[in-house]
Structures are given as structure tokens and as C-alpha cells.
Amino acid sequence: MPGSAANAGPSNWSASGTALPFLSKLKRVMTRVASLYLPQFAIERLRRPERSTRPPERGAVPLEPRLPAAVDDNPGACSVPKGGGWRPGARWARDGALPAKPTQAEIDALPAHQRPASHERSRRSEAADHPFRAMPPDEGMAGAALAWPPSFPAIMRPMILIERVGQKDVVTAACPVALDLGLRPGMAAAHARALVPDLDVRDADPASDRALLARLALHAVCHWTPIASVAEPDGLRLDLSGTTHLFGGEERFCRRLLRFLGRIGFTATIAIAGTPGAAHALARYGSAAITILPPGADTEAIAHLPLAALRLAPNALAAASRFGLERIGDLYPMPRGPLAKRLGLSTVTRLDQARGVVAEPIVPVVPFEMPRVERRLLEPIGTAEAITQVIGDLIDDMVTLLQTRGLGLRAAALTCLRVDGGEQRIAFGTARATRDAKHLKRLAAMRVETIEPGLGIEAMALAAPRVEELHPIELCADLADHDRAPDIAPLVDQLAGRVGEKALFRMTPRESDVPERAACRAPALATPTGWPRWKRPVRLLARPELLGQVVALLPDHPPRRFVWRGKPYRIVAGDGPERIHGEWWRTSREMWAVRDYFRVEAEGGERFWLFRRGDGVDAPTGDLSWYMHGLFG
């Protein structure tokens, strides 16, 4: 059947193995990784509090105070306005341009009495140097350029960071000014002090640097990309695959990121490539602040960079220098076997990672590491007693973990993995953060009957998706805590486990003048903020109910009789009205709405809270209908 085979050809090709490598290659090419390099991170972290006292650039700081412009305070009869300016009415002033200077031929053509005087023709309007500008130093004062004015703050001084290594102090970081003076990381601190006497020397703090980098990585996860990691000691690594379109493209994202870092006091460069290794190399050894490589151009772009861009070990760099290898491109034509023998296997791995031949995963930072414990069983279990025992062991492990992290459990999720591959999940929560193992075991035991073990459970895991900080409680000196109220949180948890969490609640006031909006449900352990002092019934109806056959004297008297739910009532006493206006900012229908509330007592002793729509005078305020809204007692 040639025809059917021909028709089946395209579908067979799309399902064959030929398309899968193409799709995997396309997926690999579209991977975009950004490397953010902070070259002066340790220095700028210490200088951030001093940014408010930073003076202008050195070339723009005058060494002498600038004199104010001269102002003529007594112009006399001169027509020029006070403080300088052009004479009003001058033609060249009205035209907004100065007249052109006449040439010598034009002056000679004028009559003798109109020619300017010779001393006026010799004047020049050339720019002159400021008379109080500092003179440049001569050859003998060449070293004076290194001396900083005493009025400059300490932030303008050369700054280095030192760290104790063995028996000497070593420079770990230097500011740009110190780098221009010849100071380099790895130099002995005594040598640096000898080269530059006026030097700001501070101790390095790698722990604080790592903590701030971690905070920046968490900020990146929350605002820029879900996958970010710290590239110690001076940068971040961001996985931008499928995220830069949210910021208007890769170039716009890079500009926005550098502006953000500039506002908080950090200098940075960024590179985007298809592999983390290529992005790392271009960000640190590239010539531009922003480098964006097109897909598939990583190998060619890093070929001219030095070997140090591959993050090689010092011994590998020293060996490469002995063999005359200086650039990354020098390694491309070399066979892998001899290269690994001479420079180490890690060099081959780093080279392949930078070119995209070997994957380099990014281990992302996690904003919140969920507490989780797990138990894998030697044999499947299926009885309630065995399941309860394993749950108790998991809760003990969870309590130990929470105590180490200073947290309390608010919600727990138990996952049971069955032999047949199915999963059983149960969840329970607490009204207040707790680490009471006995209480948690009691709550979990109430849910064991909902677990269906099937052929058996081979693994169980307990996670805490919701936790809160839980600190120790200070006890009295005599250990007699008579004034403290008993904790009802365990009781609330047990009742909620039996009747449901929604069945337990507490009413709390809410800011609103309309009675049905002035209260809402709150958790059972919530503390109400305070009720209004107005008298309100104990029970409010869900919706006000219309009354019939109402007899009342308008406009300010309670009704004398009415019918509610088919039963007539005769009123013997009443109090009111209490006028409540509608909340016009919520809806336009309540712009002119008015309710007049009355507290009334019927002949049988019942007490009601009812209202009339409208004030009894203006028709837009209501239609004068009566409603039952609540009951007293």
C-alpha cells in the first residue's frame, strides 16, 4: 500500500527519534543565563553608609571658594536694570542676538566722526582663566597629586581590606583609587602601607559579604527570575530563560538591573549568554558593562579571553603559562587526553561547560526552606497502630527540627506513599504556633482513620508548609504564674478536628455604620479590637425581614403594631430613633439612604430592633417601609 505509507510518512517522522534531538538542541540553545559581577562589592558594602557625605568628583571640587558675581547696587541714572542686563529698548537685545563685530573694511568706510576710537578697537572679548584658580604643580611637585586635601572625607582616601593569612596580613580587596596607585589583592598589607602612607585600611568581613549577596539573590528570586544563585565571592547567577520578555527584552532588563544596583551603591557589569561559564567569563573579563550574546555564539565570544576566565585552579593556570597557553581559544584545537593530563581534568570540564557541551546546573536559593522529615520503611505497613507509631516518630523529628530553627507549627501535611505508587495525604492545623509533640500526635491520630493504606505504605513524609516564629516564654521568678490565663488553643484544635475549622469562630467589629457590615467572623483565638458603645441586639438576622400592616406616627415615633412572620405584635414601649445614613462611598444607591432604628417591646415581653427606610420627610431617603433586623434577649 504505497499510498497509505506515503500518508503515514510525516506523522511517523514527527514521532521518530529524529525530531527529539532537534527539540532538545533547540531547548538547549534557548537557555539564557546572566552573570552579574560586582567588582567592588566588599568595598562598596562598607562605603554605603558614607554615600551621603560623598563630595563631587576631584576635578570638579574647587580648592578655593568661588567669588560671587558683581552686582551694581547703585546704578544711578543708567538705563541698565539693577544687577546687570541689557538696556531696555536696544534693538539687538530685542532680537535676542548680539550684533556682529564690524570688520576693518567696514570701519574704514564709515565717516571719520563715526569711527570708533583706537583704544576701543584694541579691546578683546576672549575667555580668560579664573584669577583664583589653583595653579598646576610643577615637576618638583609631581608627588603632591597623591596628597588628599585635609577637608575631604575619608571616603575619598584609598581604601583596602585586609585579612589574616598565616603570620601576615594580606590585601583581599582594593578600591579603584588604590588600584591606580599600584595596590593589588594578594599583596602584603605592610607593603601596601609603605607604598601609600595615607591609606584607609579595614578588616575584611566575608560573612557579611555572603549575607548581603544572599539577600540580593533572594531579591532577584522575588522580583526578576525564579532561579538565582550566589556566585561567590562577588556576583550572582540568574537563569533568565523565558523571563526577560516581562521587562521589555534582555537589554532593557540589564539596564534596569544596573540602575537598581547603582541606586543602592554598587558598581556592576552583566553578561547574558547561553551557558553559565560563558556569561561568567564575559562579565568579569569583557570590555563592556552590558554584554548580550546571541544564541550559539558562546564558543567564539570567549575565545579571546584569558584562561583565568574559565575559573581554573591556580596550579592549572601556572601549568598553562609554562606551556605558553594564554587564551581560551588556545585550548580548542588541543586533544582532550593530553590537555587533561597536563592541566587537569577540571580544566576540560570547565572548557566544556563554557562551550555548552557539558551541563552546569544552577543551584537556586530558596526563599523559604519548608521543614520536612521523612521515614522510609523496611516493610510495608497497613494497620492503624503501625501508622500511628510512624506518625509519632515523624512528629518527634519535626519538633526537633522546629526547635532548632526557632519555629512553631501552624499547618502540617502528611504524605503516605503506597506500594502501588498511589499517595494518601492528610492535613491538620493548629490555632496557634506550637511545638508540643503530645498535642500534635493527638491531632494526627484523629485523622488516621481517613488513610487508605491499600496494599501497604512503604514511605511517609511530614511537611510544615505554614510555620511561625515561636520564642521561649519568660516565667515568673517564683514559678507561680497565677495571673496568666489558661491556654485554650489545644481545646480549640481538638474541637476543630471534630466539628471542622469553620464551625469555630469569634465575632469581631469592623469599621462600618451599617449594622450588617459592622461585624465579621474571626479566628477562635483572635482578640477583638473593641465594640462600639451603641446598644445592639444579641442576635442580628442575616437579612432584614419586611414587616406588614405597620401602624406608626410619622416621622419620629415607633410603630404601634405590626405583623412579622404571620404573627401580629402590639407594642407597649419603644425608644428611638437612631438614624444611620448609607455609605455613599460604597455604592451610589446609598447616596441619600437613611434608616431610623427603634428598640421596641411587645405585649408578650419580646424585644425587637427594627428600622424604617427614610426619614419620613424627604422621599429620596427611603420608601417608609419597615423591617425587622434583630432580637434582644
If asked whether residues 237 and 314 sit together in one domain, one would say yes
Q: How long, in residues, is the chain? A: 633
Residue 172 clears pLDDT 50, i.e. is over it: yes
CATH number at residue 427: 3.30.1490.100
Cell numbers for 553, please give them. 406616627
pLDDT of residue 284: 92
Q: What is the mean pLDDT of residues 462-468?
A: 90
Pair (222, 324) in one structural domain:
yes
- pLDDT on residue 482: 56
- Residue where a domain terminates, one of 417, 442, 469: 469
Q: Which three cell numbers stand for residue 566?
A: 404571620
**pTM listed for this prediction:** 0.52
Q: Are 315 and 437 members of one domain? A: no
Report yes or no on 488 lying in a domain: no
pLDDT in tens, 567-592: 999 999 998 888 888 888 888 888 88
For residues 160 and 40, what is the distance between their CA atoms, to the nearest angstrom?
11
Domain tally, the chain? 3
In this structure, the answer to whether residues 273 and 346 fall within a common structural domain is yes
Tell me phi and psi for residue 406, to 5 degrees. 70, 35
The pLDDT > 70 percentage for the chain reads: 78
Residue 410 near residue 430 (C-beta atoms within 8 A): yes
The one-letter amino acid at 608: F
Q: Within a domain: residue 475?
A: no
Residues 6+ apart with CB under 8 A from 75: 81, 82
- Hunting for cell 500500500 — which residue is that? 1
Residue 130, number of CB atoms within 10 A of its CB: 10
Domain check: are 316 and 383 in the same one?
no
Distance CA 416, CA 461 (A): 7
Average pLDDT over residues 336-343: 90
Is 610 a member of any domain?
A: yes
CB 461 within 8 Å of CB 397: no
**Interatomic CA distance for residues 29 and 278, integer angstroms:** 13
Q: Among 469, 502, 520, identify where a domain stops.
A: 469
User: 467-485 burial, b if ≥16 CB within 10 A, otherwise e?
Assistant: beebeeeeeeeeeeeeeee
* 272 and 298 part of one domain: yes
Residue 455, domain member (yes or no): yes
- H/E element, 543: strand 539-546
Domain boundary among 469, 502, 528: 469
If asked whether residues 453 and 564 sit together in one domain, one would say no
Same domain, 293 and 334: yes
**Is residue 179, in this structure, part of any structural domain at all?**
no
492 to 241, 254, 391, 523, 525: CA distances (angstroms) = 47, 52, 22, 10, 8
Q: How is residue 40 annotated by DSSP?
A: T
Beta carbons of 400 and 439 less than 8 angstroms apart: no
Residue 213 lies in a domain: yes
- Verify that 261 and 330 share a domain, yes or no: yes
Residue 527 CA to residue 339 CA, distance in Å, equals: 71
Please check whether residues 217 and 346 belong to one and the same domain.
yes
**Same domain for 292 and 229?**
yes
Specify if 246 maps to a domain: yes
User: Quick one: 325 and 380 in the same domain?
Assistant: no
Residue 591 exposure: Cα atoms within 13 Å on the Cβ side: 4
Q: For 348-397, write each residue's pLDDT tens digit.
A: 999 999 998 888 888 888 877 889 999 999 899 989 899 999 999 999 99
Q: Is the pLDDT of residue 141 over 60?
A: no
Tens-place pLDDT, residues 182-235: 899 999 999 999 998 888 999 999 999 999 999 999 999 988 998 999 988 889
Q: How far is CA 456 from the centre of its chain?
A: 45
Q: Which residues pair with 546 in a beta bridge?
A: 627
Higher per-residue pLDDT: 577 or 536: 577
Do the Cβ atoms of 233 and 173 come closer than 8 Å? no
Does residue 149 lie in a domain region?
no
* Domain span at 330: 207-355
